[in-house]
Structure 1
Amino acid sequence: MKTYPKITATTSTLSESDLEKFAIEKYGLNETSRCKLFRTGINHTYMISDGAKKFVLRVYFKDWKTELEISEEIRLLDLLNENGINVSHAVPDSDGNYIQKLNAPEGLRHAVLFTFGEGDKIRFLNEETCFTIGSVMAKMHKVTSGESLERLAFDEHSLLHSAYKTSTSIFSDALPEVKYLKQTISRISGSFASRKFLDCPSGIVHLDIWYDNMSIRNDREITLFDFDNCGNGKLILDVAYFCKQLFHIESDKEIYNQKVAAFLDAYRSQRSLSDAELAFLPECGAAIFIYYLGMQASRFDWSNIFMSENYLKMYIGRIRAWLDYHQDKVSNVNVLTRSKAE
């Protein structure tokens, strides 16, 4: 009899029907509930609905997060939910357990069921919504300031050096974009090592707050979700990342400035945001983008469909445009200041 070699898997897409049966049994859901694959990415996301109520089932990539890291994410969601911050939070099963263990072809994978955030994803946000987001983020930071999770610390090493090392496993360090990346990391590292930066308020950060990770209703009701990347770091990181994403979405920079002003005004109405923190906003935004480039490189099983030299040019171009824009703003302010002095 002819035999065939057994090949193991690194990842798999789990059956909708099997997960459907599992969820109905485990969570006591309505028998009419249906499970549909929504997205494959860093993790796999399934939507479960019985027509009246919706849930989100996240199936974690094997070894992507430890059980402790997942439980810490759930602990944060509970903390925020208890303090009136609208978040998509974890749902316990019939036995009170939040984390499920699935025997996938590649090995053990974890899964968590989350509540569904009603509303829309709105790419082009108006000023009123930006104001609301600023208020929500500040309220979240008031809860997480000074707190910590047993998860990754977003510091100079993780945001910059580790990300660079991983990125150069995919891209040659001889490429001009990688050379620019190395120079930028060197410059930002110096700032992050400064006493002014080290003295900035720290706490738990989301690190991925932008339109794609929130549901919006009536411009004023915001539900945050996808805390998969949450960890410990300077609170200004969340502020910077939202501003940087808005920068790339809004091509009219005059309108962008108006939206950022609304966002920051709302944030400051809820929580103090010092000029010292804001001074690091450009570099923090760039650092997070560098971190995510490293993440994409580390998950080539998912990112290979877009990770190319052309993609790198676009991605580094966005970092350069962001930093150049803020450098020009500083230069213009300095010119105006000198003119007034003269």
Structure 2
Amino acid sequence: MDPNIIIKHTLIDASYIQKLVVDCNISPIVQCDFLARGLNDTYIITTENDIYIFRLYRHGWRNKSAILFELNAITQLHEKGASVSFPFRNNDADYLFEIEAPEGLRYGVLFSYAKGERPQINEENSKSIGAALGKLHKQSSSFHLNYERGFDIDINHLLDEPVSYISPLINTYLGSEADQSMKDIVEEVKTELSTKELEIGFCHGDFHNHNMHIHNGELEIFDFDCSAVGYRAYDVAVSWWNLKNNYSSKEKECWDAFLTGYQAQRSLTEDDLQSLPLFITARRIWLLGTMTQNDDVWGTNWVNERTLEFFILQLKTDRLKER
């Protein structure tokens, strides 16, 4: 192989993963299949008695301490009775498998499989989803996390870092005036958030119906890859953002149902409630920044004048609705 080739991400064959997880106390494996590629690679493992998920973390995305932070949080939630996909230890009593991939060291973890399917968005399910997040926030309030995550869900993570990736694109495709318009909106959001007393605590970080399954009326949560300590209101706002972007015809009634479910478990302060529209804008910026930063996942064919103009329009529309 040419030593000058730079390898960013390899896809490990499922047969290798199947041999790797034999080192776990599970029943004989019937089948192992590659399930999905994203910021991490996901495999589904079927045994004689059960189904599991194996996540192979992307090299350079999360370091060992960051992954152990996530697993520590999930394990504590599971021990408190939360319905979450949880990790299994291997025969060495370790959660992490290590793979020396061509691009560098990668870590893998075996998780329980969340039965069922993605919940449809309707008022009943939205109320249940809100209640699930309320319970998660309540159950995690007494956490003692033993590892460094490497980031918090704060202004830097949601706004400053993403803008550093987005700004060059805006300048290239739309010019300096559009770039300044985005930065002005970001500064307005930061100023308004600074005036509020916002609750800080453990957050899932990506809480919407794509990261949960429903089975016999019960929700089970998975994919804590974006979890960290940060603004609880942001965690709530992500579900509102999901409704706005993917279920706009049902937004009002389902958002009302979500809030009813959440506040039946725990209350939101007035400052947290007022900050929710601001975190819609923050979510848009964080997501575009993450996509831009990880072009080996999403590619660059979506980066064009039309897409970026729509992004700026969304930010401006958010601000108009807030006023």
The verdict on a shared fold, with TM-score over 0.5 as the criterion, is: yes
Separation in 2, partners of 1:28, 1:161: 44
CA-CA distance at 1:74 after TM superposition = 0.5
Output one character per residue of 1:251-295: Cα deviation in whole Å (capped at 9) or x when no partner: 32xx42111111111111110112221101000121122112111
User: Is 1:240 aligned with 2:241?
Assistant: no
Paired residues, number: 317
Equivalent residue for 2:162?
163
Pick the aligned partner of 2:59 from 62, 65, 89. 62
User: Would the alpha carbon gap of residues 22 and 320 (structure 1) be closer, same or farther in structure 2, given more than 3 Å must change?
Assistant: same
| Aligned mates of 1:188, 1:321 — CA distance in 2 | 13
- Moved segments of 4+, more than 6 Å: none
Is 1:183 the counterpart of 2:178? The answer is: no
| 1:307 Cα deviation after fit | 3.6
Aligned twin of 2:18: 20
Structure 1 segment 85-234 matched on structure 2, within 5 A: 85-122=82-119, 124-145=120-141, 147=143, 149=145, 150-151=148-149, 152-172=151-171, 174=175, 178-194=179-195, 196=196, 199-218=197-216, 220-234=217-231
- State the 1:217 CA deviation: 2.2
Structure 1 residues 160-209: Cα deviation after superposition (integer angstroms, max 9, x where no partner)? 11110022344426266544422220110101222x2xx22110111101
**SS of 1:168 mapped into structure 2:** helix
Change (3 A) 1:146 1:84: closer
1:77 aligns with 2:108: no
Map residues 32-71 of structure 1 onto 2, 5 A cutoff: 32-50=29-47, 52-71=49-68
> For residue 247 of structure 1, what is the amino acid of its counterpart?
K
Q: Would the aligned equivalents of 1:146 and 1:203 in 2 still touch at CA under 8 Å?
A: no
8 Å contact 1:244–1:322 — kept in the other structure? Answer: no
Amino acid of the structure 1 residue aligned with 2:207: I
Separation of aligned partners in 1, 2:198 and 2:144: 15
Q: Deviations for 1:209-261, whole angstroms, at most 9, x for unmatched residues?
A: 1111011124x311111000111112111111111111222232xx4211111
Partner of 2:291 in structure 1?
296
| One-letter amino acid of the structure 2 residue matched with residue 125 of structure 1 | I
The DSSP-based 3-state class of the residue aligned with 2:214 is: strand
Q: Secondary structure at the match of 1:289?
A: helix
List gaps (5 residues or longer) in structure 2.
none
Q: Structure 1 148/30 Cα, relative in aligned 2: closer, same or farther at 3 Å?
A: closer
**TM-score, structure 2 as length reference:** 0.91
RMSD of the TM alignment (CA)? 2.1
User: What is the one-letter code of the residue matched to 1:138?
Assistant: G
Cα distance change of structure 1 residues 298 and 40 upon mapping to structure 2, 3 Å threshold: same
8 Å contact kept, 1:163–1:290? yes
Look at both structures and tell me which one has the larger radius of gyration over its CA atoms.
1
Point out where structure 1 has 5 or more consecutive residues left out of the alignment.
331-342
Query: Identity of aligned pairs, percent?
Result: 27
Measured in 1, the distance between the counterparts of 2:55 and 2:177 equals 38
| Counterpart amino acid of residue 216 in structure 1 | I
Query: What SS does the corresponding residue of 1:247 show, helix, strand or coil?
Result: helix
Q: Which amino acid aligns with 1:9?
A: I
Q: Residue type matched to 1:230 in 2?
A: S
